[in-house]
Amino acid sequence: MMASNTAVKTNTAITVAYGDGIGPEIMSAVIHILKEAGARLDIEEIEIGEKIYNKGISAGIEPAAWESLRRTKVFLKAPITTPQGGGFKSLNVTTRATLGLYANVRPCVSYYPYIKTKHPVMDVVIVRENEEDLYCGIEYRQTEQVTQALKLITRPGSEKIVRYAFEYARKNNRKKVTCFMKDNILKETDGLFHKIFDEIAKDYPDITNEHWIVDIGAAKLADTPENFDVIVMPNLYGDILSDVSAQIAGSVGLAGSANIGDKCAMFEAIHGSAPRRAGQNLANPSGLLLGAIMMLVHINQPDVAEQVHNAWLKTIEDGIHTYDIYQDGISTEKVGTKEFSNAVVARLGQKPQKLKPVSYQSAPEGFSESKLSVQPRSQKALVGVDVYVDYPDILPQELGSKLEQLNGDGLKLTMISNRGTKVWPHSFPETFCTDHWRCRFMSTEGGSVTHHQVVSLLQRFEQAKLDFIKTEHLCTFDGQKGYSLSQGE
Ligand code: NAD
């Protein structure tokens, strides 16, 4: 990653994919603008998407293309069409995970009055964690009735994204970083994200910090986005709310996005390949262009980024609009993709008069090596085990009686829950139960237990012909519980 304050004057190698649907048209328009603006680029083209999927390559990208990406470390990507049906992997998810692109950055800006929006004053940057949470995609069907997905939130993953958000705020002269999470319910996972946010915020006393539970935070964001600046969040909330933010700013078709890692980065529009609009010179290249501008800043060509961005703002302000943002009375000319790019080229060197011009004099926004904290290892103790059982058509009391017979060897049944709600030793007849039971065994002495005790408990399950489907070990870390209690426990 670049680190100097002076713009790079030599060419930078980048990898470009023209994608599917409207992809080739909008990428040609963007490359045309970048070249005319004097961007110092050596372009390596790769093929991704439909054609590659159709060759039977389930990842949608060929090995030679990975070599280019690993060599240039900078990827400008047009949208692709993801084939319907099973067997195909999402190229975006694969690229993010393979290249370690942990931060997804989406600026959502309104351009009132030139682009219709309910929020004339909006300039929000969503910083979304990109590698973990439910997007690890670890899912199981465990019983006839019950499926499960694992939500993984890690200390290093959370530290990287939260620190990135504060560094981004500082480098871009932003004043506030807000954290969205749901730790009133998810005390371990989102609780960790929140804790790390509070820890890291202390290193940035110059930047205001605040946090909201994601439900009310999302409502406030949709209602009064002008009160937000940079917002950092775990993957799923970020995925949903960055689309909401882009849409309420004016249009998802206008937003660009950067996927940043310590070694590589990928830049794109947030919209898809819009196949119905393909090949008609209709599509708006603005989302991809704004992604490409983030790329120019990243590869330390802020001079070109600024010129292109201001020319684009002037084009929007002059009312030269593609069909998707055209409005009678405000727009002056309805243009196609090519004509739009020519209009931007014609305005290179100009600044907008009404919209706020941008300035990119500072160092690139790329984040240098992640500074992960060094945590002393906690004292970990195994204190019990949750054994999950598949048992259809049984009442909690009956199951409790069966399982109490397995007590012994220093372990005893303390609780059974169904979908997180305690149903044994006491239950309400109103509580709906599925065939998926969590059966908690703790040390009879109240102290730690051994793996041997857990294995012998499972042997007793097997002898009793009970269908155990998984176990979760209950540990404490420096005496603090590392597991949730059930509702009502
Ligand atoms: P989409 O974003 O492609 O299009 C939705 C609608 O938005 C289009 O019908 C069009 O009216 C409009 N639109 C989108 N971009 C536009 C532009 N630049 N200019 C003008 N109008 C535009 O979403 P979709 O139809 O749900 O998905 C189409 C395909 O794109 C699917 O195969 C999907 O999997 C894929 N997709 C790819 C990416 C990516 O590569 N990053 C992202 C999202 C969807």
**pLDDT at 220 (0 to 100):** 98
> Average pLDDT in the 116-134 region?
94
pLDDT at 301 over 90: yes
**pLDDT at 4 (0 to 100):** 45
Angle at 67 between CA 85 and CA 290, to 5 degrees: 70
Retrieve residue 312's tokens.
């684009």
DSSP label of 61: B
Answer whether 301 contacts ligand 1 (Cβ < 6 A). Answer: no
User: Rounded to an integer, what distance in angstroms lies between the CA atom of residue 214 and that of residue 228?
Assistant: 13
**Closest listed residue to residue 486, CA positions, set 428, 427, 418:** 418
User: Rounded to an integer, what distance in angstroms lies between the CA atom of residue 25 and that of residue 335?
Assistant: 14
Mutate to test the pocket of ligand 1, among 18, 47, 251, 273 (most ligand atoms within 8 A of CB): 273
**Closest listed residue to residue 408, CA positions, set 357, 443, 379:** 443
DSSP label of 158: H
Residue 188 near residue 155, CB atoms below 8 Å: no
Ligand 1 atom having least distance to the Cα of 78: 40
- What is the 107 CA–ligand 1 centroid distance (Å)? 18
- What is the 430 CA–ligand 1 centroid distance (Å)? 46
Ligand 1 atom having least distance to the Cα of 19: 40
- Indicate the pTM of the whole model: 0.92
Collect all residues with Cβ–Cβ distance below 8 Å to 442 and sequence separation of at least 6.
383, 384, 411, 412, 414, 449, 474
Helix, coil or strand: residue 389: strand
User: What is the SS3 string spanning 329-358?
Assistant: CCCCEECCHHHHHHHHHHCCCCCCCCCCCC
Answer whether 310 contacts ligand 1 (Cβ < 6 A). Answer: no
Angle at 290 between CA 285 and CA 293, to 5 degrees: 125
Residue whose CA lies nearest to ligand 1 atom number 40: 79
For the stretch 174-211, pLDDT in tens is 999 999 999 999 999 999 999 999 999 999 999 999 99
Answer whether 411 contacts ligand 1 (Cβ < 6 A). Answer: no
Helices 214-223 and 235-249, interaxial angle, to 10°? 10
Task: Please state the φ and ψ torsions of residue 232, each to the nearest 5 degrees.
Answer: -110, 140
Q: Where are the beta strands (DSSP E) in 26-122?
A: 41-46, 74-77, 103-109
pLDDT at 57 over 60: yes
Answer whether 284 contacts ligand 1 (Cβ < 6 A). Answer: yes
Retrieve residue 28's tokens.
């040609």
How many C-beta neighbours within 10 Å does residue 408 have?
12
DSSP label of 172: T
Burial class (CB in 10 A: 0-12, 13-18, 19+), 22: buried
pLDDT at 370 over 80: no
Answer whether 276 contacts ligand 1 (Cβ < 6 A). Answer: yes
Collect all residues with Cβ–Cβ distance below 8 Å to 171 and sequence separation of at least 6.
362, 363, 365
User: Rounded to an integer, what distance in angstroms lies between the CA atom of residue 430 and that of residue 407?
Assistant: 28
Task: Please state the φ and ψ torsions of residue 72, each to the nearest 5 degrees.
Answer: -85, -30
pLDDT at 299 over 80: yes
Residue indicated by tokens 């008069």:
353
- What is the 253 CA–ligand 1 centroid distance (Å)? 8
Mean pLDDT of the chain: 93
- What is the 271 CA–ligand 1 centroid distance (Å)? 5
Answer whether 82 contacts ligand 1 (Cβ < 6 A). Answer: yes
Domains (ranges, CATH) in the chain? 1-100+251-364 (3.40.718.10), 118-249 (3.40.718.10), 380-481 (3.30.70.1570)
Ligand 1 atom having least distance to the Cα of 22: 18
For the stretch 427-452, pLDDT in tens is 898 999 999 999 999 999 888 999 99
User: Rounded to an integer, what distance in angstroms lies between the CA atom of residue 1 and that of residue 7?
Assistant: 13
Answer whether 24 contacts ligand 1 (Cβ < 6 A). Answer: no
For the stretch 355-365, pLDDT in tens is 999 998 665 44
**pLDDT at 1 (0 to 100):** 40
**pLDDT at 2 (0 to 100):** 42
More confident residue, 371 or 214: 214
Residue whose CA lies nearest to ligand 1 atom number 36: 272
For the stretch 232-252, pLDDT in tens is 999 999 999 999 999 999 888
**pLDDT at 7 (0 to 100):** 66
**pLDDT at 364 (0 to 100):** 46
Collect all residues with Cβ–Cβ distance below 8 Å to 281 and sequence separation of at least 6.
25, 336, 337, 338
For the stretch 69-102, pLDDT in tens is 999 999 999 999 988 777 787 888 889 888 999 9
Ligand 1 atom having least distance to the Cα of 283: 19
Residue indicated by tokens 């083209």:
45
Answer whether 291 contacts ligand 1 (Cβ < 6 A). Answer: no
- What is the 373 CA–ligand 1 centroid distance (Å)? 40
State the pairing for strand pair 176-181/230-233. Answer: parallel
User: Rounded to an integer, what distance in angstroms lies between the CA atom of residue 288 and that of residue 267?
Assistant: 8
User: Rounded to an integer, what distance in angstroms lies between the CA atom of residue 183 and that of residue 213?
Assistant: 7
> Average pLDDT in the 307-312 region?
98
DSSP label of 259: E
- What is the 132 CA–ligand 1 centroid distance (Å)? 24
Task: Please state the φ and ψ torsions of residue 267, each to the nearest 5 degrees.
Answer: -130, 135
One-letter amino acid at 136 equals C
Residue whose CA lies nearest to ligand 1 atom number 20: 283
For the stretch 10-20, pLDDT in tens is 999 999 999 99
Residue 127's pLDDT band, with cuts at 50, 70 and 90, is: very high
Residue whose CA lies nearest to ligand 1 atom number 38: 272
Residue whose CA lies nearest to ligand 1 atom number 4: 274
**Closest listed residue to residue 168, CA positions, set 305, 366, 362, 370:** 366
pLDDT at 275 over 90: yes
Residue whose CA lies nearest to ligand 1 atom number 30: 272
Ligand 1 atom having least distance to the Cα of 286: 18
**pLDDT at 245 (0 to 100):** 94
**pLDDT at 362 (0 to 100):** 60
Residue whose CA lies nearest to ligand 1 atom number 5: 274
pLDDT at 368 over 70: no
Residue whose CA lies nearest to ligand 1 atom number 39: 79
User: Rounded to an integer, what distance in angstroms lies between the CA atom of residue 333 and that of residue 317?
Assistant: 11
Answer whether 272 contacts ligand 1 (Cβ < 6 A). Answer: yes
User: Rounded to an integer, what distance in angstroms lies between the CA atom of residue 314 and that of residue 291?
Assistant: 18
Distance of CA 58 to the CA centre of its chain: 22
User: Rounded to an integer, what distance in angstroms lies between the CA atom of residue 325 and that of residue 334?
Assistant: 9
Answer whether 80 contacts ligand 1 (Cβ < 6 A). Answer: yes
